[in-house]
Amino acid sequence: MNFLTDFADQAVAVPLAAVIALLLALAGWTRAAFAWVLMVAATLGTIAFLKIIFIACGPSNFVGVVHSPSGHTATAAIIYGGLLALISRRCGVGLPWALSPAPIVSLLIGLSRISLGAHTWPEVLIGGLVGCAGTLTMLLLSGVPPPRVSLPRLVAFPIAIALIMHGNHIHVEDRIKSIGVRYAWIAAVCGGHASR
């Protein structure tokens, strides 16, 4: 399961997102490049914000205990689901079908996170919803692809980057936890107590 979950680590996702944005811009699909950068940043930012809130306020009972929404699941949905959605749009697939890879990819990564004991079902569900919402918004903002967007490049370069970066890790969870604890005063606002 570590092999699968590592594809959604920030050490893989961030360079992959940058390469995809560059490929979209170079292909002349600048609207999609802008939508991609905006929604990847918004998705990862939303997950970081939710993690800080849950850490500062303490665990919540959302159809089960939620300590920290799954960033890996959200990342998988927006990066891999988003890329597959853009490729689908380039191939002329309609919006509902183009969006379908995002929940599938988030489910696969989510199951790996649960299997590893890193997250609970509700944490994976929150991450998946945030990632799929980011993917949908990105698709709506991206517009129609120009005919010169090269599918081989849009597929080959991201695969190469994912394979090269696979196995590297950026340990952002500890950093986010320290921020959440530092802003434990938020707990007074949400009526909880900070988890340390």
Any domain includes 102: yes
- In terms of residue numbers, what domain contains 91? 2-44+71-167
Residue 196 sits at the vertex; the CA angle it makes with 174 and 73, to the nearest 5 degrees, is: 45
Any domain includes 50: no
Any domain includes 61: no
Any domain includes 135: yes
Stretch 46-68: mean pLDDT? 80
User: Structurally, how many domains does the chain consist of?
Assistant: 1
Any domain includes 37: yes
Residue 132 confidence class, pLDDT cut points 50, 70, 90 = very high
Largest CA distance in the chain: 54
d(CA 124, CA 101): 16
How far lies 194's CA from each of 5, 44, 53, 63, 184, in Å? 28, 22, 9, 20, 5
Percent of the chain with pLDDT over 70: 87
Any domain includes 184: no
Pairing of strands 65-66, 60-61: antiparallel
d(CA 177, CA 13): 20
